[in-house]
Amino acid sequence: MTKKTFISAALIAALVLPAGIAIAQPAAPVPPAATRPAFDADAARALLEGFGLTDIRLDDDDDGHFEFDARTAEGYQVEIEIGRDGEIRKIDLDDDDDDRGSASLIAALPAGVREALSTRGVVALRDYERKPRHFEIEGVTGEGREIEIELRNDNRVGAVSVSDPRGAQQPAFDEAAFTAAVVAAGYQVSSVSQRPRHVEVDAVNPEGEPVRLHADFDGTVYKETLVRGAGGRS
């Protein structure tokens, strides 16, 4: 009668595997990832407090966003809309404080928007709205001019408009000084055309985009429009 010998798996491993190599053990089950807590009204309030806002009051708790009334660090009344994802979608400064704008609110904007505003000398925010494909911003420059900027999602400027204190045409136009002022503002000038009440300039803006500018005779740019279809930065 043939004898059958049963050898344990451990003994087989000891006989077959080289020294120092162990049998792989089954991996421990990985616990499911923690569920991200929902961005609720309290989190939205804390976000606004972090930007120095006070007197914060929840005005509307919609399915898609929160609407708050608050007061800025300067004491201005403001309405702010925040999405359920924590993104600030809209900032609307009270009309009585609109002309002055709020410097403290700029900190609440995305980094790319803040950089674009800084490039154009914007020191205070009046209104801000996040659209599906672009941002719309109204602010005040260091010279006290009202400025409107349309900024695309890739942080490239679509259009700029600055308040134009138009007056009578200056009797003498110094094109060299004018061009130097526009270049100092960050533009590369390709052509200058004097008009009765302003100057039009074909240029490349600080983002590398071909634009058409309207400027005062002293070289202060108050309107910038992207030239569609022209070659620019890719």
List the end-to-end C-alpha distance of the chain, in Å, as a whole number.
85
Running DSSP on this structure, what letter comes out for residue 3? Answer: P
**Is 9 within 8 Å of 17 (Cβ atoms)?**
no
User: Could you report the per-residue pLDDT of 102-147, keeping only the tens digit for each?
Assistant: 999 999 999 999 998 998 899 999 999 999 999 999 999 988 888 9
- Structure tokens, 3: 């004898």
Nearest residue to 99 via CA among 74, 130, 134: 74
User: Could you report the per-residue pLDDT of 178-189, keeping only the tens digit for each?
Assistant: 999 999 999 999
Q: What mean pLDDT comes out for the span 159-179?
A: 74
- Does position 227 have pLDDT exceeding 80, yes or no? yes
Give the contacts of 175 (CB within 8 A, at least 6 positions apart).
192, 194
Among left, alpha and beta (phi > 0; psi -120 to 50; other), residue 215 is beta
User: Could you report the per-residue pLDDT of 28-50, keeping only the tens digit for each?
Assistant: 565 554 454 578 999 999 999 99
Q: 95 exposed, middle or buried (CB, 10 Å; 0-12, 13-18, 19+)?
A: exposed
Amino acid (one-letter) located at 126? R
- Structure tokens, 81: 């809309």
- Does position 24 have pLDDT exceeding 60, yes or no? no
How much is the pLDDT for 77? 92
Domains and CATH numbers, the chain: 38-163 (3.40.1420), 173-234 (no CATH)
How much is the pLDDT for 120? 87
- Does position 6 have pLDDT exceeding 90, yes or no? no
